Chain A
């Protein structure tokens, strides 16, 4: 293998698994260290800069960082990154003075369609640069799906008000209750750029017999949740069936339990393990006495005299064809009818752009989705950008934020006369953590604690009040314990070939057997000759150039604890622990634009 080019920003970024997995690339270990130090406001601001909604995401994020967390490969469970983010939000001081000031206007006007996370991120990035941002939303308040679809017992209004408020306070115009009905009309208002962050607002229908006849008691999940959120709906029948296996279904069933549903059942087509809902959301639903039945396909709504009385299901089983694709085929068991009073349909969400006319210069593909550049988020109309669920279909908040940052960068570059396809490199700061012979400026003593549970409100109390937040968040002590579980993966092991005397001290001390000195070879060959088996080929090998004996140093990054013992035991300082702080470049950064080399 060629010697690893550690100057390429992506190499060490990949080692910070959580940050690499995060769509917004939040510097996770950096803010977890700040939490451990009790510097909650500093931790909050790192998050705010990167993911815009720390308090909201600390409660609702889909957490792509946690399955990626290195700790999950070392022991059973990853660090509770998401809930630590909430700790920063819960315990911070007043941070208003740290926010950017509303800037003098630069005369450029941006229209943002939809008041959800994508649009608000664009506004957050552009308003401090002097852009006049106007956000339009059909709902009276900002927040989009964060406000309408996520139940209050998971995300209180106060958190949404606070964090949307920080953005609107930057001098952003918010036009609530103002639905954009025509793209053509919007274009005619001569905005310098338009950003569409209108989400995936339409719940998918379930067109099976009885749908029309029993319509009064069959509700589309996201619409019903929005109605609950606005107080239009405050009760539901005692027996409720929720159809669907995603997070919306979990929100529906738990909401139903709080509005009078005594016997709430979730029924999914797939197997339990293949459900789209996050594992912790399934756990929370089951904890609230909601059974989840699987491998059952709804075939008909049963009704008598226009009144829903139940749903009939066909039992299926999974079969895999030669290509490994799954098919659900009837299992042969007789159909089953489950009696119920109401049904909530949460079988997916769709995009809908009835308000974008065909002759706006915005092209759509065969799935009726706009053609959007995945890097620049530009549509085929150079002035119109898309982001969030509106760009590539339903994802989640953190993706919308990431899209927002990228779209804002594109808009800023376009309006500065730059080529929007040239994307800036991330900002990287490198600093040795060495303080003394055996002292480091980070805590390298590895905690063996298991993941700390987040305290929950008593179930009886929680189920009585739809606005009572179920999760109470970590207290300071629990947060400190959980923060110590972080392995500081951003403190990198950096190797200097010229200093190495091949004494084997690092090999001997490494608790995870990460380091091997051996003859060079192809990657697959090297992986077979490592001191400990290579379990995850997607994790990089760090390879040095040739050493004096003709061998090379190979480090499997996979389960490195970043404990720094290799550097402590190294007599010549060939190993050093260096913090790589990598931050994405957002709109308005002074960093010169360089085209990115392939890492």
Chain B
């Protein structure tokens, strides 16, 4: 952490988005995480994605649990809604908020401890239900706040800072999310913003449960030789299946790649994702194929990154439950409580 606030001055040539904001306007307070923490790069990527999408900050709700990662919503979107919930309970709080008001953009920010250990069940059920959200796990494989014990996502065989080898099997959150029916699944790396920023932007545009697992090296406890979540290891073993550009209608990005190498995916909100294939055989619409691909590469020690699966026509929880479109806080009392005559009618229909 630093003692001074980040100076208010910004580069005089900064571009403004459609709303007249620079990317600096999407910042929050200055980070109190350790110097060099991968989480800060994820924060910067969220800022960049929201800036590029010209999102009005008051339309975003950022919800987190407990942990280094769950502190980060304080560092971005300082003018958005936020809820720092109980450890591992972010998915429930987010689900509730989403049910009450579907008009907001929900950013769930969590870590490997928060989502793969104490909140594993919560994570599973929010994905399973198809809550319309962007669920980001800032995954460093250790419990940083308690000085670097292995977390549930630490790979078997990975070495701790003190040289102890992890003997437990790792939970692969991406594999679980795929299995549980997430309709947008991606993995990325905090050290590769060119990949991460468009992924976050695309996830925000996706209607349904979007899940991004971001490997985010812990500088203090998990960035040494022998760790499988260090900058060097991830860079050496990163196997990106594709790169993408998010094309927002107003600002078409000229895509000039060789024919056949780009696949355009139209999203529910009208934006388009241009996927540049790196692995020619990889099909991001094939859930089963994705799961197999992941397993095969994991066995070889490779970390598959990119947009792994997307279903552009997904439904979300509201459609499943046939809920009212109007946010509950704007419904009038007589709509919320239509009176005993209506109740009688409902009761009669159930007899």
A439 to B15, CA, bound (A): 33
- A151 CA to B34 CA in the complex, in Å? 59
- State how many angstroms separate the Cβ of A493 from the closest Cβ of chain B: 14
B9 and A512 form a contact (CB under 8 A): yes
| Interface flag for A448 (CB, 8 Å) | yes
- The answer to whether residues A559 and B41 also contact, given A501-B223, A504-B193, A568-B2 and a CB cut-off of 8 A, is no
A56-78 CB contacts (< 8 Å) to partner B: 73-75
- Judged by DSSP, the binding face of B is loop
Give Cα A73 to B13, complex, Å: 10
* B34 proximity list for chain A (CB < 8 A): 571
Q: Which of B13, B30, B35 contacts A535 (CB 8 A)?
A: B13
Assess whether B305 is interfacial by the CB under 8 Å rule. Answer: no
Given contacts A508-B40, A569-B40, A571-B219, contact A74 B12 (CB under 8 A): yes
Q: Are B9 and A561 closer than 8 Å at their CB atoms?
A: yes
Known contacts: A570-B36, A572-B36. The answer to whether A512 contacts B11 by CB under 8 A is yes
Q: Is the CB of B37 within 8 A of A505?
A: yes
Question: Are A571 and B35 in touch, CB under 8 angstroms?
Answer: yes
Interface residues in A21-76 (C-beta closer than 8 Å to B): 73-75
A366 within 8 A of B: no
- CB of B147 within 8 Å of the partner chain: no
- Known contacts A501-B231, A502-B191, A503-B38; A533/B13 CB under 8 A: yes
Q: Known contacts being A438-B2, A569-B36, is A511 close to B10, with CB within 8 Å?
A: yes
**Proximity bits, A433-455, B CB within 8 Å = 1, else 0:** 00000110000111010000000
A430 at the interface (CB under 8 A from B): no
The complex places the Cα of A444 from the Cα of B223 at a distance, in Å, of: 29
B40 touches A445 (CB 8 A): no
List the B side residues contacting A80 at CB < 8 Å: none
Q: Are B9 and A446 in contact (CB under 8 A)?
A: yes
Q: Does B1 make an interface contact (CB < 8 A)? A: yes
Question: Are the CB atoms of A570 and B9 closer together than 8 Å?
Answer: no
Nearest chain B CB to A31's CB is how many angstroms away?
Answer: 23
| Distance (whole angstroms) from the CB of B76 to the closest CB of chain A | 11
Interface residues of A in 431-481 (CB under 8 A from B): 438-439, 444-446, 448
Chain A residues whose CB sits within 8 angstroms of the CB of B6 once the complex forms: 509, 511, 565
Interface string of B221-254 (1 = CB under 8 A from A): 0010000000110010000000000000000000
Chain B residues with CB under 8 Å of A509's CB are 6, 30-31, 40
- By beta carbon, the residue of chain B nearest A446 is B7
Q: Dominant SS at the A interface?
A: loop
A503:B11 contact, CB within 8 angstroms: no
Number of A-B contacts (CB under 8 A): 100
CA of A569 to CA of B37, assembled, Å = 9
Least distance between A34 CB and chain B CB atoms (Å): 22
In the bound complex, do residue A532 and residue B44 qualify as a contact, i.e. CB atoms below 8 Å apart? no
Smallest distance from the beta carbon of A514 to chain B beta carbons, Å?
Answer: 8
Check B11 against A508 for contact (C-beta < 8 Å).
no
Instruction: Judge if A489 is at the interface, Cβ distance under 8 Å.
Output: no
User: Which residues B9-50 have CB closer than 8 A to chain A?
Assistant: 9-15, 24, 30-31, 34-38, 40-41, 43-44
B43 adjacent to A438 (CB under 8 Å)? no
In the complex, residue of chain B having the shortest beta-carbon distance to the beta carbon of A533: B13
Does A508 lie within 8 Å of B43, measured CB to CB? yes
| A559 and B12 contacting across the interface, CB-CB below 8 Å | yes
Chain B residues with CB below 8 A from A503, complex form: 36, 38, 41, 191, 217, 219, 231
A504–B35 CB distance below 8 A: no
In the assembled complex, the Cα of A535 lies from the Cα of B11 at a distance in Å of 10
Chain A residues 530 to 577 lying within 8 A of chain B, measured CB to CB, are 532-533, 535, 548-549, 559, 561, 563, 565, 568-572
User: In this assembly, does B8 line the interface, its C-beta being within 8 Å of a C-beta of chain A?
Assistant: yes
Known: A74-B12, A548-B235. 17 other contacts (CB 8 A): A445-B4, A446-B8, A502-B191, A504-B41, A505-B37, A507-B44, A508-B44, A511-B9, A511-B24, A535-B12, A549-B235, A559-B11, A561-B7, A563-B4, A565-B6, A570-B36, A571-B34
28 contacts between A and B (CB under 8 A): A438-B1, A438-B2, A446-B8, A448-B9, A501-B231, A503-B217, A504-B40, A504-B41, A504-B44, A505-B40, A507-B44, A508-B41, A508-B43, A511-B7, A511-B8, A511-B24, A512-B9, A513-B10, A532-B11, A549-B235, A561-B7, A563-B4, A565-B2, A569-B2, A570-B36, A571-B37, A571-B219, A572-B36
Chain A residues with CB under 8 Å of chain B are 73-75, 438-439, 444-446, 448, 501-505, 507-509, 511-514, 532-533, 535, 548-549, 559, 561, 563, 565, 568-572
